[in-house]
Structure formats: structure tokens, C-alpha cells
Amino acid sequence: MTADPAAEESAPVPVRPAEGPAAPQCSLAAAPDPYPLYRTLRERHPPAYDPHLGAWLVSRYTDVVGALRDARLGRPRSVSCCEPGDDRCGAPHLLAPRAVREHATGAFREIAERTAYVLASRLARRPEADLVAEFCRWLPSGVVATAAGLPYDALARGDRGLPPTRTGPGRRGRGGPGTAALAGLLADRAALTEKALASLIANLLDHPAQLAAVREDPALIPRAWAETLRRNPPVHVLVRRAVQDVPLAGGTVPAGAAVGILIGSAGRDHERFAAADDFDLFRPDPGRLTLGPPGCPVAEVAALQAQYGLRALLDAMPGLRWADGFRPVETGLLTRAPRALCVRPA
């Protein structure tokens, strides 16, 4: 993720890298906990050049939203559906007509519920379990496998990473028309759904009063999901490349330069969210930056997996809590989530 050297030599650099005593720490690659650095970047260096990443970093909420929508910052061609900040999703045309799309999305509700309860029930009587390795990682892949008509024994052999399936709307999975096509899109995002599920569970276990509220009223799960995506999004950095000189956040990013759009920083911006570092499922406005555009079937199915996954865990494990002495640790640079969730199910 380095900028084009020729572009850097030929174009002026009107915004300087961070200077002063803290400069050596002003690289995301050297920050095991990026949140203090995010705050420093928002308050002092919008934007800042990170020489270790070879990219200009955009950190403030308003600047992140603007960068995500700026056509002069080219995105990778591999994007198959949509990304944070998009107004529209590219998936519906792959699942046309609308009736097929709605049927496929609806079919995933039953698939997600059944898969979640099977996985949760297998862990319920265990003295200890790692919910990342034994639940969050398997639920998205199990849902995709079922929808695509693939056997579970492939997953049992460890083949969790299903390849993207480019199928048309006429291809039938176990859920009927369109499910195989949607399963292909979901396979692209399975790892991100896994990370978001892990962060959701970690946030609730870290806040017992809010966990109790969700137990009492499962209708609060979508609020907990939205708040998790704001506070702990699975994607922290999206990389773009300037196709021309781009005025951005009070400076100018030169043509050809890489731009790191800090989604993980935007959700913690105190200028946009009150008590932005706190997890609060009752927050009146968690924003939509990381929820995906309205009507995105991939985002809708991910939310269904969160809803039924959490309900299955809470139903099967009334005493769910952290294992003795365990604390979750987030890891990752571009994507980020707890590496393990060691719990006592019983």
C-alpha cells in the first residue's frame, strides 16, 4: 500500500507529515491500540502522511464521509457489492428481478436461525469455549454453505473459506431462487461478518447491564448491532488512490497518492458522537456510515446473522460470561476484531 514514487516526485506535497516528539508513533502499523492515535490524528493532523503505510490518512467523520463519496479517489475494481458511505448497493442488479431478491433475502432468515441454534447448542454444555473459533467463524460460512446447497461435511473438514460464487439469479440454492447468487456475495464478506459478530458479543459481555436488557428484550439486538458497527467496525481502513490532485480536509492530496480512509476513527469522532468511545446501544443516533446503504441484501443478511446468532447464544447459555481472567484483545490493521472470545457458557 505505497504511493507511486513518480507521482510523489512530480507533485507538490502541501500537507506535511506529523512532526514533533510523537511523530515516530504516528503510524498505524506501529499502534497495537489505534484509538489514541485516531484521536491525535483527528485533533492535530487532518490529513497526515503515514510513511510506513505510504498513505495519507483521513480521520475526521466529516472528512471520511466526503472521501468515501469522492469519485476522484478511485476504489479497487474487486468491490462486488458496496462499501461504507455508498448511497446505493451494486448487488440488486445481480439478483434481479426484485421478487427473486426479496425471496432470497427472506430465505436467509430461516437458514441463519437454524444454523445459529445448531452451533450454539453444541457449545452450551461445555465448561469453556472460544466463540470466535467455534461460533463467529462458523456461522457466516455455515449460512453460505446451506444457502448454496453445499454439504456441511465440507465445513467439518475445515473448508470454511468458501470461494466467491458468481451465479445468476436463476441458480437455485437450498433456499430457492436467488439464494445461490446471494450466497456468492455473502462469501466475499464472511470474514467481515465474523469480525463484526465477535465485536458485538464482546461489547455486550463487557457491559452486563446492556446484555441483561438485550436478554429481556431481543428487539434491542439491531440497536446493539448498529452501535457495534459504529464503535468497533470490522473494516478500519479503506484504501483509495487519488486519480488527480484532491483538496481534502484543508490540504491537497497529490495525484497518484494512496489515501487511507479511517472508518475506525470516524465512528469515534467526538464532534459527531457524544461520548464516542462508549458502547451505548440506547444511543439515539449511531449513524449509518458502516451499516451499508438501504436495501443492501448483504448488509441485511449480516444483520440477520447477528440477530439470530446472539439470540441463539443467549437462549442456549443463560449464564454466558467471560472465562475467569479473560479479557478480549482486538487485533488487525485494515480489519480489526477480537482474536478470541473465551467464555463460560454454563
Summarize pLDDT for 64-80 with one digit per residue, the tens.
999 999 999 998 776 56
CA distance 91 to 70: 21
pLDDT score of 94 more than 60: no
Could you report the per-residue pLDDT of 222-261, keeping only the tens digit for each? 999 999 999 999 999 999 999 999 998 878 899 999 999 9
Cell readout for 234 is: 470490522
* pLDDT above 50 for 5: no
| Residue 10 pLDDT | 36
235 DSSP 8-state letter: B
Q: In what order do the strands lie in the sheet with 55-58?
A: 48-50, 55-58, 258-262, 237-242, 73-74
Q: Is 172 exposed, middle or buried (0-12, 13-18, 19+ CB in 10 A)?
A: middle
> Average of pLDDT values for 182-189?
80
Q: Rounded CA gap, 243 and 225, in Å?
A: 35
8 A C-beta contact, residue 256 and residue 4: yes
Residue with cell 447464544: 313
User: In 3D, which of 175, 174, 144, 146 has the Cα closest to residue 161?
Assistant: 144
For residue 225, give the nearest of 189, 196, 190 by alpha carbon: 196
Query: How crowded is residue 154: how many other Cβ atoms within 10 Å of its Cβ?
Result: 13
Q: Is the domain covering 80-200+290-346 a CATH 3.40.190.10 domain?
A: no
Answer whether residue 120 shows pLDDT above 50. Answer: yes
CB 142 within 8 A of CB 112: no
For residue 235, the one-letter residue type is: V
For residue 146, which amino acid is it? T
pTM value is 0.85
Q: Which of 130, 181, 127 is nearest to 301 (CA)?
A: 181
CA distance 329 to 322: 13
pLDDT at 202: 99
Of 218, 322, 226, nearest to 281 by C-alpha is 226
| In the block, residue with C-alpha cell 502499523 | 29
User: For position 250, what pLDDT does the model report?
Assistant: 78
